[in-house]
């Protein structure tokens, strides 16, 4: 393994939150370089060329992959409401693309703000805009901004859970409701999670573009069911 990656893993283990908070429970190397946005089971890597991977979120093994629409600058990925399509953002083209899970482009619209990064779908698209340090709630059909708010740090790169959790590449931290809950991630460009009622707690997946790794954190606190109903329906 790359000594740089080993060193990062050791540092994260040392700096991991105390028991009862967010604990580092796993990690795996990404299948491509420059990992960016992630949704449970899906990952974007903006390597050469940029690719979207369907992955096993436990160990990173690849189920399928295809070229990301828009080329260089691919950043965010999240599942559509039917889970048959994916939304993919491109930071360079400032477009949001809709693709099938086989990679065929079926639609697109211009991003309401330049430079869209990682995103999530919670009925509307919550998109991080690093250059403005804004998280915007965007209509997934029209592309219009429904609401927006500032990121908790200075360069928000990813969000999850309606923006309550956010990653910031300037502060190298993950925030929960504006408070740092995980620190020491060199370049956190992607963030997603899963919560279940069968196994109470929440698992967070964080992509680090500096090390080409996904780090997995766990919090044993029970997650409010209404907040994660769409995820629980699939994975409970």
Domains of the chain, with CATH numbers? 3-235 (2.40.10.500)
pLDDT for position 14: 31
Q: Which helix (H) or strand (E) holds 79?
A: strand 74-79
pLDDT for position 159: 97
- What DSSP designation does 200 have? B
Q: Which of 148, 111, 123, 143 is nearest to 133 (CA)?
A: 148
Torsion angle, alpha carbons of 78, 82, 83, 84, to 10: -110
- pLDDT < 50 positions in the chain: 1-20, 223-236
The answer to whether the CB of 18 falls within 8 A of the CB of 171 is no
pLDDT for position 121: 95
pLDDT for position 25: 93
Q: Which residues contact 72 (CB under 8 A, 6 or more apart)?
A: 46, 48, 49, 50, 92
pLDDT for position 118: 98
Alpha helices in the chain (DSSP H): 3-15, 229-235
pLDDT for position 221: 67
d(CA 213, CA 34): 9
* Distance set, CA 66 to CA 50, 51, 93, 167 (Å): 9, 6, 19, 26
């Amino acid at each position: 393994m790359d000594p740089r990656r080993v060193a990062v893993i050791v540092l994260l283990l040392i700096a991991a939150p105390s028991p009862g908070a967010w604990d580092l429970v796993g990690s795996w190397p990404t299948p491509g370089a420059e990992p960016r946005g992630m949704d449970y089971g899906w990952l974007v890597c903006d390597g050469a060329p940029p690719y979207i991977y369907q992955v096993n979120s436990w160990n990173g093994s690849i189920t399928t992959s295809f070229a990301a629409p828009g080329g260089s600058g691919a950043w965010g990925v999240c599942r559509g409401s039917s889970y048959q399509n994916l939304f993919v953002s491109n930071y360079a083209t400032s477009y949001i693309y809709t693709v099938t899970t086989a990679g065929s482009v079926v639609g697109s619209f211009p991003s309401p703000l330049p430079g869209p990064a990682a995103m999530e779908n919670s009925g509307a698209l919550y998109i991080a805009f690093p250059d403005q340090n804004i998280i915007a709630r965007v209509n997934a059909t029209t592309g219009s901004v429904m609401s927006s708010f500032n990121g908790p740090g200075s360069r928000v790169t990813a969000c999850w859970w309606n923006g309550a959790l956010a990653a910031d590449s300037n502060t190298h931290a993950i925030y929960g409701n504006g408070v740092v809950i995980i620190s020491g991630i060199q370049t956190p460009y992607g963030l997603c999670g899963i919560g279940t009622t069968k196994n109470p707690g929440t698992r967070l997946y964080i992509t680090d573009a500096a090390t080409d790794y996904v780090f997995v954190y766990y919090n044993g606190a029970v997650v409010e069911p209404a907040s994660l109903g769409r995820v629980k329906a699939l994975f409970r």
